[in-house]
Every structure is written in C-alpha cells, then in structure tokens.
Amino acid sequence: RKEVEQDPGPFNVPEGATVAFNCTYSNSASQSFFWYRQDCRKEPKLLMSVYSSGNEDGRFTAQLNRASQYISLLIRDSKLSDSATYLCVVNRDDKIIFGKGTRLHILP
C-alpha cells in the first residue's frame, strides 16, 4: 500500500461549482499535513497547511481526520485559475511524502 494515496482524476468541474478531494495516508505516526498546487511543468507551491481542527483560507477549506487517516480539500466557487494538480503531502520525522496528485480542470 502506498504511503499517501489520491484519486488521480481528472475532475472536470464547471466554473463556480464546489469540488472536494480526499487523500489517505497509511502511517499513523504522520505528524503534519499540507496541500500543494502544481501547474504544468512548474514547481509545487504550498496551498495550505492542514490542522486537526480544520482550517479555511478564502475559498479553500482543509480538514484532517486522524482516526480515519485522511485529509480533504474543499474548493468553493471554483475559478478557471484553479485548474491545476493538487498534491497531498504528509510529513513523518524527516521525510516529506507526496501523493501523486489529483488533476482538476475547471470548465468555462
């Protein structure tokens, strides 16, 4: 079983819709969690950290469920510029493990 798993998509979503991604991790010792965004042929960029209490940044909401070992990302009122690959990231000790990403296409 992979340490971090994501649905690869693609998710094709009309502009203005709400979309949600999930990510599961296998190691219960994982300590911190993040969502990154990667545009084609570019480096990944931090979107937001994920906290146990859940956190929100504008149209983006992240949740962590330690008991079930999954992380979620919700995007509301999606924009064309949200089209990208979203990477789930899990930290354990000195290791930072990336999921393979979920591709999102926002359709006009």
Partner 1 sequence: SQTIHQWPATLVQPVGSPLSLECTVEGTSNPNLYWYRQAAGRGLQLLFYSVGIGQISSEVPQNLSASRPQDRQFILSSKKLLLSDSGFYLCAWAGQINEKLFFGSGTQLSVL
Residues that bind partner 1 (CB under 8 A): 31-32, 34, 36, 41-46, 49, 87, 89, 91, 93-101
- Output the six-digit token pair for 26: 């296998």
33/63 Cα distance (integer angstroms): 10
Strand 102-107 with 11-14, pairing: parallel
> Which 3 state secondary structure label does DSSP give 80?
helix
59/33 Cα distance (integer angstroms): 19
Smaller CB distance to partner 1: residue 43 or 81? 43
Smaller CB distance to partner 1: residue 5 or 76? 5
Taking the complex as a whole, the smallest distance from the CB of residue 4 to partner 1 amounts, in Å, to: 9
Taking the complex as a whole, the smallest distance from the CB of residue 108 to partner 1 amounts, in Å, to: 25
Taking the complex as a whole, the smallest distance from the CB of residue 35 to partner 1 amounts, in Å, to: 10
